[in-house]
Amino acid sequence: MKYLLLALVGLGLAGCATETVVPALYGTLAGRVLDARTNQPLASVVVSTVPATSGFLTDAKGQFSISQVPAGTVALSVHKTDYADQTLSVIVSQDQTQTVALLLERASATAPPAAASQPSLAHATTGLPTQVLLGWRTPGAARADSLRYTVMLYEGASVYQRELLTNARDTSVLATGLRYGTVYYWQVTTRNPAGASARSVLWSFQTQPLPDNRVLFARLTGASTNIFSATITGTSLVQLTTGTTTQTAPQLSPNRDQVAYTSNATGQFQLYTMSRDGSNQRRISTLAVEGYNNAGVGYRWSPDGAQLLYAHYDQLYRINRDGTGLQLLATAPPGRHFRECDWTVQGGSGGRLVVQTVGVNVYDAELYLLNVDGSNPVLLLSNLPGRLDSPSFSLDGSRVLYTRDVAGFNSATGRQLDAHLFTQRLDGTGLLDVTTANNVTKPVGTNDLTPRYSPDGYSIVYVNQANDNLTPGSVFTIEASGNNRALAFGNAALPDWK
């Protein structure tokens, strides 16, 4: 008792003197985890302690060893999918190794796994691209656990749904082909080998608005041709079609709400429409947009965007944008087919049409002016040396724009050597070679092709392409006067700018 009192007094004096720092004391915790039924070691069991150290996994022999465990009583927890979790208290002594053995029981077949959580993409994220990586985690799941995941994607305000992942072990999936300006919801279902499952909460995200691209064009993608939109400099590129055949000759409606194009998905080029983001693709024609040297290029919107004009062999038709009201307007002269065309609201009586007719040889071309009902054909151009192509009206309807091979190369294959851009008045006067009007030189051995007026009517958009017909063309712009020839972007054909 005397010594105890002295010790207490000593402690009291020490408390009144300098405070001492008690060093941290640690030990080691080791053990093995076995299947309670088979007594076999269990690998990849998650082992953790409270107070926390770090998470550990058992090795192939079911063994684990945790150093730097605070001395004293700690809670040891083990987890493995398909087994019941187990927790026990263990006393760890300083500088000693405490060894334990744990037996895990199989979980009940009806016990569900933990629901997926911690999405890699924060809930309600906005402004995302049309391709998004979705990831998640399952609380307490180890890498070797046999959980399977199914991911469903739902499009807001519609009945659209898509299964992005089906009964897979991946914990992420790439959602592609999303629509612009759209809210999507997604949910993960977790399933264990026993068949029990758990669903995550419903997460959402929103894609960025559709870029206001004003240029459409066709581009070769692998073995097929597809349709794209972009700015006039080629930025904000959006692929609108993903077909394995040929989707070509895109044209934006005058009111800029629909895209028309042609596709040979059925074996012949038919006329289609779609929304500006590439959705709602719909075939509207039954008679093909084909004929002599007309592989889906012979059509045009009406000035009000309500109808389309198109060539079917030796016949010229008008059709409503929804595919109704097909009407025959004109028949080509004997032995000739209609090819490209355009429609202007100017000129009285509802406007005028300009149409190209060709014979078996594409260089055998003529341009006619017609009333919008197909009547009163007036020959505008004919019997010119070299191929004559791509007629269209100026914004005010006073001039016709077209191309002609000034080399006069009458090739039955359609090849051109030196095609230029030309404009002239409807009465045949005022001829202007836009390509050379102001001593602007285009590259030797190339053709200027498929021109269209810009939305303001003062410039022209067209393609310049090597005359071997093999090298992809590039989109250029030039003022209608022939000034300021400029490259816009490469690898494109049949541009349309509105």
- Point out the domain boundary residue: 70, 104, 138: 104
Please give the average per-residue pLDDT across 203-231, as a whole number.
96
Q: Does 220 lie in the same domain as 199?
A: no
- Structure tokens belonging to residue 63: 């063994």
> What confidence category does residue 11 fall into, taking pLDDT thresholds of 50, 70 and 90?
very low
| 179 shares a domain with 39 | no
Q: How many CA atoms lie within 13 A of 263 on its CB side?
A: 22
Residue 249 vs residues 262, 368, 400, 452: alpha-carbon distances, Å: 6, 22, 20, 12
Query: How many CA atoms are closer than 13 Å to the CA of 175, on its beta-carbon side?
Result: 27
For 374-387, what is the mean pLDDT?
94
- Which pLDDT does position 88 carry in this prediction? 85
DSSP, res 16: H
SS3 258: coil
**444, part of any domain:** yes
Is 179 contained in some domain?
yes
pLDDT number for residue 392? 97
The answer to whether position 38 is within a domain reads yes
Domain of residue 82, residue span: 27-104
190 shares its domain with 237: no
Query: What are 410's two structure tokens?
Result: 């009458």
Mean pLDDT of 448-465: 97
**Residues 31 and 138 both lie in one domain:** no
- The pLDDT-based confidence of 22 (bands split at 50, 70, 90) is low
Q: What is the CATH number of the domain that holds 35?
A: 2.60.40.1120
User: What three-state secondary structure class fits 13?
Assistant: helix
DSSP string of 18-75, one letter each residue:
PPPPPPP-EEEEEEEEEETTT--B-SS-EEEEES----EE--TTSEEEEEEEESEEEE
Bridge partner list, 56: 47
405 with 419: CB under 8 angstroms? Answer: yes
Structure confidence at residue 145 (pLDDT):
64
pLDDT tens-place string over residues 73-106? 888 888 887 788 888 888 889 889 988 888 888 8
Say if residue 477's pLDDT is above 80: yes
Is 90 exceeded by the pLDDT of residue 124? yes
Task: Read off the tokens for 116.
Answer: 């997926």
CA distance 46 to 85: 10
Do both 328 and 442 map to the same domain?
Answer: yes
Output the domain CATH number for residue 416. 2.120.10.30
Percent of the chain with pLDDT over 90: 73
Q: What is the mean pLDDT of residues 443-460?
A: 96
> In which band, very low, low, confident or very high, does the pLDDT at 276 lie, cut at 50, 70 and 90?
very high
Residue 2 lies in a domain: no
pLDDT at residue 139 above 90? no
Give the mean model confidence (pLDDT) for residues 259-279.
Answer: 96
Q: Are residues 330 and 408 in the same domain?
A: yes
- Cα 485–Cα 408–Cα 361 angle in degrees, nearest 5: 110
Asked if 435 and 420 count as a contact pair (C-beta separation under 8 A), the reply is: yes
Domain identity same for 99 and 162: no
C-alpha 264/C-alpha 280 separation (Å) is 18
- Among 158, 110, 159, 115, which Cα is nearest to 140's? 115
pLDDT value at position 1? 34
- In-domain check, residue 53: yes
- What is the b/e burial string over 195-208, where b = at least 16 CB atoms within 10 angstroms of the residue's CB? ebbbebeebebbbe
Q: What is the mean pLDDT of the chain?
A: 90
Report, as an integer, the average pLDDT of 3-13: 37
Q: Is residue 442 part of a domain?
A: yes
**Same domain (yes/no): 49, 150:** no
Report the run of H or E that residue 404 belongs to, with start and end. Answer: strand 399-405
Lowest mean pLDDT among 49-53, 108-112, 114-118, 281-285: 108-112
* Contact predicate 72/94, CB 8 Å: no
Same domain membership, residue 33 and residue 64: yes
Of 183, 207, 231, the last residue of a domain is 207
Q: Are residues 276 and 387 in the same domain?
A: yes
Is residue 4 scored above 50 in pLDDT?
no
Mean pLDDT value of segment 355-372: 96
Q: What's 147's domain CATH number?
A: 2.60.40.10
Residue 237 reports pLDDT greater than 50: yes
pLDDT at 18: 45
Whole-angstrom Cα distance, residue 221 to residue 376?
43
Reduced to 3 DSSP states, what percent helix, strand and coil does the chain have, rounded to the nearest 5? 5, 50, 50
In the numeric block, the tokens 């307490």 are attached to 140
**Same-domain pairing of 84 and 180:** no
**pLDDT at site 87:** 85
114 occurs within a structural domain:
no
Nearest-angstrom CA–CA distance, 471 and 177: 30
| Counted domains in the chain | 3
Does position 109 have pLDDT exceeding 80, yes or no? no
Distance CA 301, CA 310 (A): 9
pLDDT bracket for residue 129 (50, 70, 90): very high
| pLDDT at position 365 | 96
pLDDT 10s digits, 325-339: 999 999 999 999 999
Distance CA 430, CA 383 (A): 19
Whether 10 maps to a domain, the answer reads no
- Per-residue pLDDT for 119 more than 60? yes
**198-207 per-position pLDDT tens digit:** 999 999 999 9
491 HSE (CA, 13 A, CB side): 12
**In a shared domain, residues 162 and 266:** no
Rounded Cα distance between 273 and 268, Å, is 16
